[in-house]
């Protein structure tokens, strides 16, 4: 099956700092999503981004499908950004289109 690798696995920032999270995938994908898992365990949709660039406030994401990677940018980080960020890809394996997740990047933002 398709492999999804996220880096770095852990990230510690001071409030106000910027960061870039990366998601590499081993095969062509039909779609890609970024999620933020909050301390209560809920997965919050951040971006649905099969290709191109999108921005939402302090967050933006870029997917370069031809080179099989996506980047999530967090600018002027806040303590509420803490949590785990997951990348999930939809790969048409036998027509199933099952979301496959990376292992996540755990982000801690200190005040």
Partner 1 sequence: EADIYQTPRYLVIGTGKKITLECSQTMGHDKMYWYQQDPGMELHLIHYSYGVNSTEKGDLSSESTVSRIRTEHFPLTLESARPSHTSQYLCASSELGRQAFFGQGTRLTVV
CB of 13 to partner 1, least distance (A): 18
Q: Could you say whether residue 98 binds partner 1 (CB under 8 A)?
A: yes
Residue span 54-93 as binding mask against partner 1, x where in contact by CB under 8 A, dash where not? ------------------------------x-x-x-x-x-
The answer to whether 19 and 73 have CB atoms below 8 angstroms apart is yes
d(CA 80, CA 62): 22
Query: What contacts 24+ positions apart, CB below 8 Å, involve 39-43?
Result: 39/82, 39/83, 43/86
- Select 1 or 111, whichever has its Cβ closest to partner 1: 1
Which residues bind to partner 1, rule: CB under 8 A? 1, 30-31, 33, 35, 40-43, 45, 48, 84, 86, 88, 90, 92, 96-104, 106
């Amino acid at each position: 099956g398709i492999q999804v690798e996220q880096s770095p696995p852990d990230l510690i920032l001071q409030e106000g700092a910027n960061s870039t999270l990366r998601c590499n995938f081993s095969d062509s994908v039909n779609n890609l999503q970024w999620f933020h898992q909050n301390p209560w365990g809920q997965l919050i949709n951040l971006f649905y981004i099969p290709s191109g660039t999108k921005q939402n406030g302090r967050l933006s994401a870029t997917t370069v499908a031809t080179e099989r990677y996506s980047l999530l940018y967090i600018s002027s980080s806040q303590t509420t950004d803490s949590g785990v960020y997951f990348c999930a890809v939809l790969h048409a394996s036998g027509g199933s289109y099952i979301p496959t997740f990376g292992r996540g990047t755990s982000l801690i933002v200190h005040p």
